[in-house]
Structure 1
Amino acid sequence: MTRQEIKLVISDIDGTILNDQHQLSPELKEQVARLQERKIPLVLASARSPLGMEPLARELGLKQEPLAAYNGALIIKGDAENYQVLAEHPLDRKELQKMLTLLQEEFPDLAINLYSGLDWISSQLNRWVQLEAEITGESPQIKEDLLDGLDQLGAIHKMLLIDEPEVIEKVYSYLEEQDFKELACYLSKANYLEITARQVSKELALREIASYYQLPLEAVMAIGDNYNDLPMIRLAGLGLAMGNSPQAVKEAAQASTLSNNQNGVALALAKYITKKK
């Protein structure tokens, strides 16, 4: 059976288009320019916020393409400062309030971060939060008691918990034992625990973006490196795993490419779409 021609590419950011120094390669920029010559959109899908994604999109020359932020909890188009919401799936308020209460009681030293649109509110400015700020280029608002004034915030799209891997493992196990019907937890790194609305996933983001472009799923190529990328990798017409992916992610993908430090995405675009290295 002949594979359908790829007309849309959806890619993760960290560990995928970025190398371990959090940089984009000249080879990738060249391949993205070749995609644009063929009028094939490249859409970035990430756990990052819009503000953490837009500089990379701008550096790649992606001006009209949507951004799927917070793993698809918020999909926007346009400048981050003046964007149009294409789709959003915020956290349930009652369950969020319950989870925050439990976390502040059981893990008082945990760095808790809330993301609402462009706003990043953190419970403390420790080394983990400072490192996240350096990686994303954003600055959090510090508020020790996140429950205070919670009702005044707009839609909250994601909560991020950061600490040592062994602490996050305990937090993850604790939250999984609680009765949260509307919220879902997943590890994006060994020391990063993300909480979103249960229906949020990169699979849903892929469906919504493909619908926006009025393209069948078979015409989409999805690229990622970690477990939270698995839903879109499985769903896409061509799902690719990075060479730095865990073995389980590689096994679920149709194919794999080299690592993020070896221009894996640029090579995949050349192999499957532009045919030029």
Structure 2
Amino acid sequence: MNYRIIALDVDGTLINDDHELTPRVRGAVRAAAARGAEIVLCTGRGSTSALPVLEELGLSGTMITHNGASTVDSGTRRILHETVIEAEAASRYLAYCRERGIHFDMNTAFDLYVEKLTEESEKMYGRMFARPIVREAERGLPEQTVKLSIFAAKEALDAVQRDWAAWEDGLQVVRSGDFFIDVQPHHASKGAALERLAGLRGVPREQVLAIGNYYNDIGMLEFAGFGVAMANSPEEVKRAADAVTVSNNEDGVAVVLEELLAVAK
């Protein structure tokens, strides 16, 4: 294969809307790995939430997590790179959510902290293999926090996003799904993390393939030598890509990889 690094988003891309990794997708990813490509999960999820997906693929290696705010080795659990949020900058976001009863979590490279759990949020974390740690509000922001995540109905998040659009404090607000907003340092992104990893590997961008479906994937789609958006992507994401495949419910990742594998034979 011409691609030495294949970066794959997870939710809405690698897995379907039932949160399943289908046998066809699993087989195509493993076949690409067997041909020598390094498979890199590049996700908004945290490391412990992404690791079960990598294990289900039957693979190990480097994962770019928290939208590029951390890069970790799945085997040793070593943090290769991370960008940390300052407590002072985070305070206004936390206060906003507390005042309005909006659910949020605070993430380090491997741990996820919440101040409370509801039945709805527990179900959400369960679907994503996340294990939240309850932490009292008085304890403040955990050390080495790399990302804040907000979970609410789409309409509520639309309003939050409008309110936060004018805030200037060294942090960026990233829409990572219809029901999720992430807050992290401005210089953290999937694209920047993927570029950094390719540099460490000595792999030119022309030999990087990226597949994603949402706004937080735009950076990596633009950096990659070939970026593919899923059919279930917003139009802005599709415009950032070099090609569009079928949806995550139609095994779009497998369609792309199978075509590349066929050409490489």
Q: Would you say the 8 A contact 1:121–1:141 is kept in 2? A: yes
Work out the number of aligned pairs and report it. Answer: 265
The one of 53, 64, 67 aligned to 1:71: 67
Gaps of 5+ in 2: none
The one of 74, 95, 103 aligned to 2:97: 103
Q: Would you say the 8 A contact 1:10–1:44 is kept in 2? A: yes
Matched residue, 1:225:
213
Alignment of 1:18-29 (within 5 A): 18-29=15-26
Aligned-pair identity in percent equals: 27
Gaps of 5+ in 1: none
Q: What TM-score does the superposition give when structure 1 sets the normalisation length? A: 0.89
Q: Would you say the 8 A contact 2:79–2:109 is kept in 1? A: no
Q: What TM-score does the superposition give when structure 2 sets the normalisation length? A: 0.93
Aligned CA distance change for structure 1 residues 33 and 102 (closer, same or farther; 3 Å): closer
C-alpha RMSD of the superposition: 1.9
- C-alpha distance in structure 2 between counterparts of 1:205 and 1:221, whole Å: 14
Q: Would you say the 8 A contact 1:90–1:155 is kept in 2? A: yes
- C-alpha distance in structure 1 between counterparts of 2:241 and 2:253, whole Å: 14
The one of 156, 167, 192 aligned to 1:178: 167
- 2:141 matched to 1:136? no
- C-alpha distance in structure 2 between counterparts of 1:266 and 1:254, whole Å: 17
- Aligned-pair CA distance for 1:274: 4.9
Matched residue, 1:126:
118
Matched residue, 2:178:
190
The one of 195, 201, 211 aligned to 2:199: 211
- C-alpha distance in structure 1 between counterparts of 2:227 and 2:188, whole Å: 19
- C-alpha distance in structure 1 between counterparts of 2:154 and 2:128, whole Å: 20
Q: In the TM superposition, what whole-angstrom CA distance separates every residue of 1:211-235 from its partner, at most 9, and x where no partner exists?
A: 2321011110000011111111111
- Aligned-pair CA distance for 1:125: 1.1
- C-alpha distance in structure 2 between counterparts of 1:176 and 1:127, whole Å: 30
Q: Would you say the 8 A contact 1:242–1:256 is kept in 2? A: yes
Matched residue, 2:156:
167
Matched residue, 2:77:
83
Q: Would you say the 8 A contact 1:34–1:274 is kept in 2? A: no
Query: Match for 2:228: what amino acid?
Result: L
Moved over 3 A (4+): 273-277
- Aligned-pair CA distance for 1:68: 0.6
- C-alpha distance in structure 2 between counterparts of 1:244 and 1:74, whole Å: 26
- 2:58 matched to 1:61? yes
